[in-house]
Structure 1
Amino acid sequence: MSDLSQSLALSASGLRAQSERLRVVSENMANTDTPGYRRKTVSFEQVISPTDENGQVKPGDVHLDRTDLPKLYDPSHPMADETGHYLGSNVDLIIEIADAREAQRSYEANLKMFEQARKMSSSLLDLLRR
């Protein structure tokens, strides 16, 4: 595989991984006020292939955050127990916004790398045509 196509594959894998990360973060943000909802996280894994060593990544398994759910007091809530408490969500909106920005910037960096490799490939083809 040529260096240009390897760089395209590398940046495409980064785009897919960050896209999955943005999807998980947006799910968390949408469920900030959902009682009993646990925050989801996704990790990345390196794609190991015997034929090439270009460092591609893929999204790993989605894991649930095991921190304790906050007990909220609202006796009028339908999920409240006899003491008037119910379990809230462990999603912190500030953390999710920071994760979304980081994933967005990483996505944009991979996109720029993809565009640059595509332009270089196009320029190479133009030179070879002459």
Structure 2
Amino acid sequence: MGNDLLTSLSFAASGMEAQSMRLRHVSENIANADTPGYHRKVISFDQAMETGLVEAGRPRLDQSDLVKIYDPGHPLADATGHRDGSNVDLVIEIADAREAQRSYEANLRMFDQTRQMTQSLFDLLRR
């Protein structure tokens, strides 16, 4: 029983860590939404084969097309007056941030409930 509780704590902690990494990349994307030529970072989640814990994969760059912005006065503008914007869509980033936050909170609740169960078990054993 005690090992199951520790495993539950480990699963919840790995989920919180993965979601915090995801939120970090989402915030970097939002911060760089106006950076010319910026490709948004996306992260995937993997399950470690030996432990079953959630792990954040390496961030990769979204290879979708960059937005072309007509700005003939910009130093990076080409001969037609266009420059590359970023491929960050703030609506998508905000939705990803909300999803990461909710997943983090769900893992936090699981962690807290497991901790309370462990405390109750220790209280019973002390009697």
- TM-score, normalised to structure 2, is 0.96
Runs (4+) off by over 4 Å: none
Question: Aligned partner of 1:2: which letter?
Answer: N
Q: Could you say which residue in structure 1 is the equivalent of 2:28? A: 27
Distance 1:62 1:124 in 2: 40
Q: Does 1:44 align with 2:45?
A: yes
2:66 to 69, 75, 90: 69
5+ residue gaps, structure 1: none
Work out the percentage of aligned pairs sharing the same amino acid: 65
Deviation of residue 82 (structure 1)?
Answer: 1.9
2:99 to 85, 90, 102: 102
Q: Could you say which residue in structure 1 is the equivalent of 2:111? A: 114
Deviation of residue 56 (structure 1)?
Answer: 1.2
Distance 2:93 2:67 in 1: 17
Q: Could you say which residue in structure 1 is the equivalent of 2:83? A: 86
Root mean square deviation, CA, Å: 1.0
Deviation of residue 61 (structure 1)?
Answer: 1.2
- TM-score, normalised to structure 1, is 0.94
The number of equivalent residue pairs is 126
